[in-house]
Amino acid sequence: MAYRNLRSYPSDGSSARWPRDQANVLVDPPVDFLASLERFFHRQYTFSDMPQGYAVFNHTRNDQTTRAHDTHIYGHKEGHYVSAREFGPHFCCLARVMAGICTCKKCRSGRRRAKAAAAAATRARNPRPLPPTHTLFW
């Protein structure tokens, strides 16, 4: 099993994207999440910390009868991850310095949105000509 310090890898994460409300509590150190990430990689690696700009938060549910919470990973520009399984593919791309072609769920949705915005901007600059009007004579 190889030891990996996730802070040594390039990262696209930012602490500016972390939640600031009372329902989210920073988990430091994120031992349980890192164990889940190790399981995602079939225990080939041991991790000690999150990549730079990423953090694990416990989000408390609004249910007053239980003390249940959900674990979320924040730092990505397109939103938060809800599991190690969802974050794992993104980390693989970061580790391989391939963030520009990442295939994780968040990066794919971000590229789709950017592509749609670019297409809308192009349509705004170059509107389609109106079809010719036809006069029907009966």
**Domain assignment of residue 18, yes or no:** yes
Model confidence at 18: pLDDT above 90 = yes
Model confidence at 82: pLDDT above 60 = yes
Model confidence at 74: pLDDT above 60 = yes
Per-residue pLDDT tens over the stretch 110-135: 777 777 777 777 777 776 666 666 66
Predicted pLDDT of residue 46: 82
Per-residue pLDDT, averaged over 60-65, amounts to 71
Q: How far apart are CA 89 and CA 138, in angstroms?
A: 65
Q: How many domains would you assign to the chain? A: 1
Three-state DSSP at 17 gives helix
**Domain assignment of residue 110, yes or no:** no
**Domain assignment of residue 43, yes or no:** yes
Predicted pLDDT of residue 75: 94
Structural domain of 18: 2-100
**Domain assignment of residue 34, yes or no:** yes
**Domain assignment of residue 114, yes or no:** no
- For 37, residues 6+ apart whose C-beta sits below 8 A from its C-beta are 47, 84, 87, 88, 91
Per-residue pLDDT, averaged over 72-97, amounts to 88
